[in-house]
A and B are shown apart, each in its own frame.
Chain A
Amino acid sequence: LRSDSYADLSQYRDQHFRGTRYDQERLLRKSCTLYVGNLSFYTTEEQIHELFGKSGDIKKVIMGLDKVKKTACGFCFVEYYTRGDAENAMRYINGTRLDDRIIRTDWDAGFKEGRQYGRGRSGGQ
């Protein structure tokens, strides 16, 4: 009856997270920040703002960048002012299309400088 599976934590945990598993999960459960993946390289901050603004006021959008080329890399972070707004994004924006691609959202423990860079070997995702 009280099921809310779309807003639950996924299995993913950031391997580069500084701190214990327990710390990470605690942050994920309080977080107002979402990781957004499978964006097109052409997707703009403006488009993300428009779509994610449908679940609440956005505090900040941080575009993911290729570490080497410093160009768009197919992911971003969206931070809301309240957790409830982020939960609604998980329920209703996750798994829908942006720029004609099905995007995926997941809880993020919180943006820290450096996390906007792709960690792939060539600098991308």
Chain B
Amino acid sequence: SNSSLESNLEGLAGVLEADLPNYKSKILRILCTVARLLPEKLTVYTTLVGLLNARNYNFGGEFVEAMIRQLKECLKVNMYNEAVHLVRFLSDLVNCHVIAAPSMVAMFENFVSVTQEEDVPQVRCDWYMFAFLSSLPWVGKELYEKKDAEMDRLLSQTESYLKRRQKIHVPMLQVWTADKPHPQEEYLDCLWSQIQKLKKDRWQERHILRPYLAFDSILCEALQHNLPPFTPPPHTEDSVYPMPRVIFRMFDYTDDPEGPVMPGSHSVERFVIEENLHCIIKSHWKERKTCAAQLLSYPGNNKIPLNYHIVEVIFAELFQLPSPPHIEVMYTTLLIELCKLQPGSLPQVLAQATEMLYMRLDTMNTTCVDRFINWFSHHLSNFQFRWSWEDWSDCLTQDLEKPKPKFVREVLEKCMRLSYHQRIIDIVPASFSVLSPANPVCIYKYGDESNRSLPGYSVALCLTIAIKNKASNDEIFSILKDVPNPNQDDDDDEGFTFNPLKIEVFVQTLLHLAAKSFSHSFSALAKFHEVFKTLAESDEGKLHVLRVVYEVWKNHPQMIAVLVDKMIRTQIVDCAAVANWIFSSELAHDFTRFYIWEILHSTIRKMNKHVLKIHKELEETKARLARQHKRRDSDDDDDDDDRSSDREDGPLEEQIERLQEKVESAQSEQKNLFLVIFQRFIMLLTEHLVRCETGGIDVFTPWYKSCIERLQQIFLQHHQIIQQYMVTLENLLFTAELDHHILAVFQQFCALQA
């Protein structure tokens, strides 16, 4: 309750004041940390600082200085999200009579003047604008009362900046492509509308809890400090500003007709509630029970439909593009905890949300659909897969490639992975069988007697017996020697050139024998690693191995994924081979299936981690050499030491040279992987566009939407790496001759950090 908070604050202020002589720096440090890391409790701590300042003017001054130092530090190391919290804290200190309003306005004037800087990225100006605007719900009233002319000028400068800034990036970040029922607004546009409305309401803001109001008589006696003039640190090459965002909205006041009214999308209350809920998740994401409890105890429960806000904020994070702020599985578990704490109300809101998301699948970004599939299937697995599937019967009459039936198919497939095939058949109505996943059984081409006329059949039989009798790699090689090469007339004696039939017979047989479980298959890959390496030595060999794996396991996408992963890690195939395989015509039928893209992104991630790992090794070895030199330099008198370190230097320097080469080769492989992927996308999309143009048909088929969004997904999910290749991409692949549909994706991507 409010009165206990007030007495706590008063008591705490008294205790801390007494401690100041002995623990001042500790208290300063803790308060600064709290300001940075607990923004959802901002007004509680600004009140505390206000009370301390009233009792000890010098402390107030030192605190303000410490905060400014901290702010500068954050900006220097690109901690922009925390910097916003600091700015907001400072601005609320105006309300607590710690900081004089005119000096705060002056700081904001410096922020807004960043928009006048030349040759700086737009995202830099955006941040300073955001820091200014997002503080106004807290301090707008006070600043306007004291300095209305200056504030008006700032607001009109804001307006003209927002009008002229480019928004090419927006379509890439929107969860839905449609504007109904809720427009997906760019975050600064939305905030500006909210501030304009706040101004129109004469800065009356009633949602934020302001403990300092109760202490007004004490605080207004306090002497205020002036903020020192704050020059925004200049833009440097190392500056990395936050990416722009799109505001996710799925609910409005019509969605909970019986409960309290949900604040409108352009109300400042909506902004504050969402900010605070996001901050709570950021503070407690590691502790799901605490996080759920903190979210549910957000003040104002009976005045706002809190459950709806919470669900909306959680989905906002889950669907955020490019990536969610936290690992996806956290949101699933958090929602389950929330359902446990509010079993009478939250599950219903969640079901309502699920229904709404399903209804709007047609315009949902493919990456977001992926996340929806993962979330929903995992969620259901915690609740015995109970769902009213019949409500979704409308999807049964649609073309299976359309978003709704596709979604249901992918969900059922994921549900099966967390249970088993018969379970899924049992949980859906019979009418849904067309969407049910295939029974994940292996297809062994040489298994049936009726196939004995197939070339290689007899060798397959021979191989089966040999493997069952624990044959060695050498024995396998000699058995395989008998397999003719359909590609060549005269085979090498060695038989080590690309022989697709050899690969087929060996891989089919081995995978079939090891089909029992993942572990069996992994053992098989390990035991016969030598055979695999030899057969898959060439690029064509690698591609063919992948093709055969697919042929054997096309009913069990999960098995394909884990086998591909293992084969990359054991270097049977390389990342480029996987990329080429995914874009090959054999896989065209599965091209829009979720598992394909899981495989591709997992492959890219492995490549990225590999580069980082070798780079780290190089840096560590360089550090060791530097330390060694330092030791040697400081021991000039000791002959023995000199000699022994000379001996060590050689190998270390050699190591560094080798690692340097390794790094360069890995980075080149990484770049090549992305180039291959982009190239294949361009080819595929261009083909489709040309075909549509000449045939006079609409470009925008479900396949096209999926494919172009998959291209976007590559850019978004790996944006940091891809930024290194901008020049190559611009000059080599995404040139002006490209169809504008494809070029637009590249331009949107460029706009993200422009």
A interface residue numbers (CB < 8 A to B):
1, 3-7, 44-47, 49-51, 54-55, 57, 61-63, 88, 91-93, 96-100
Contact = CB atoms under 8 A, between A and B. Distances in A.
Contacts of B332: 54, 92
Interface of B: 33, 37-38, 283, 286-288, 290, 327-330, 332-333, 336, 374, 378, 381-382, 384, 414, 417-420, 517-519, 558-559, 562, 565, 602, 606
B417 A50 contact: yes
A4 B419 contact: no
B418 A3 contact: no
Contact of A92 (B329, B417, B419, B558): B329
B328 A46 contact: no
Given A91-B288, A92-B288, A61 B336 contact: no
21 contacts: A1-B33, A3-B287, A4-B287, A44-B420, A45-B518, A47-B417, A47-B420, A49-B558, A50-B414, A50-B417, A51-B378, A51-B418, A54-B329, A54-B374, A55-B329, A57-B602, A62-B519, A91-B330, A92-B332, A93-B329, A100-B384
Contacts of B286: 3-4, 6-7, 91
A99 B419 contact: yes
Nearest to A55: B329
Nearest to A1: B37
- The B interface is mostly helix, strand or loop, or mixed, namely helix
A42 B384 CA distance: 16
A33 B558 CA distance: 22
A6 B288 CA distance: 9
A91 to B, nearest CB: 6
Contacts of B330: 88, 91-92
Given A4-B287, A6-B286, A45 B517 contact: yes
Contacts of A7: 286
Nearest to B328: A54
A96 B419 CA distance: 14
Nearest to A42: B420
Contacts of B418: 47, 50-51, 98-99
A39 to B, nearest CB: 13
Nearest to B383: A97
Given A49-B518, A96-B382, A1 B419 contact: no
A123 B191 CA distance: 64
A6 B286 CA distance: 8
Nearest to B382: A97
Contacts of B38: 1
A57 B565 contact: yes
A87 B290 CA distance: 17
Contacts of B417: 46-47, 50
Nearest to A52: B329
Contacts of A96: 333, 336, 382
Nearest to B290: A3
B726 to A, nearest CB: 29
Given A6-B287, A88-B329, A93-B333, 8 more contacts: A1-B38, A4-B286, A4-B287, A45-B518, A54-B332, A55-B327, A91-B287, A98-B381
A57 B603 CA distance: 11
A51 B604 CA distance: 21
Nearest to B565: A57
A32 to B, nearest CB: 14
Contact of A61 (B287, B518, B565): B518
Contacts of B327: 55, 88, 92
Nearest to B414: A50
Contacts of A92: 288, 327, 329-330, 332-333
Among B329, B374, B606, residue most surrounded by chain A Cβ atoms (within 10 Å): B329
Contacts of B328: 54
A46 B288 contact: no
Given A61-B518, A61-B519, A91-B288, A47 B329 contact: no
Nearest to B332: A92
Contact of A47 (B374, B384, B419, B562): B419
Contacts of B559: 46
Contacts of B419: 47, 99
A121 to B, nearest CB: 27
B742 to A, nearest CB: 32
A13 to B, nearest CB: 24
A99 to B, nearest CB: 7
